[in-house]
Amino acid sequence: MVLPVLPRLKNLPEGFSSEGALRIELEEGVPIFRASAAVRSRIQDLLSKQQDTVLNSDEEQELDCYEEIDDYLSLVNRTVRNLYLNQQAG
């Protein structure tokens, strides 16, 4: 079995608090990591602002960081789910 390579994050958004930034939900007994409501709200604020005007460089960097975190969480969630499914099949 080939394990995926986890990407290395360069940094976290400046306003990203490690306290309460993520929540864990169970889907069919498998833990799934998701951004908290506060983080999702901040991302939505940045995306809305981006539609109306140009983000400043700090905001653009923050949004890029959130995108990296989303990619990372997606990879972690897929990996955990695949390990669970492989365990069930074996």
pLDDT in tens, the chain (90 residues): 566 666 677 777 776 766 788 898 998 888 899 999 999 999 999 999 999 999 999 999 999 999 999 988 999 999 888 888 888 887
pLDDT of residue 5: 67
Structural domain contains residue 4: no
| CA distance to 7, 48, 62, 83, 90, per residue, from 79 (Å) | 13, 31, 26, 6, 16
Number of helices (H), then strands (E), belonging to the chain: the values are: 2, 2
Answer yes or no: is 73 within a domain: yes
Q: Is residue 16 assigned to a domain? A: no
- Collapsing DSSP to helix, strand or coil, 78 comes out as helix
Is residue 75 assigned to a domain? yes
Q: Are 43 and 35 in contact (CB under 8 A)?
A: yes
Q: Establish if 12 belongs to a structural domain.
A: no
Could you tell me if residue 85 is inside a domain?
yes
Please check whether residue 61 is in contact with residue 18, taking contact to mean a CB–CB distance below 8 angstroms.
no
Number of domains observed in the structure of the chain: 1
What pLDDT does 15 receive? 67
Range(s) of the domain holding residue 28 = 23-89
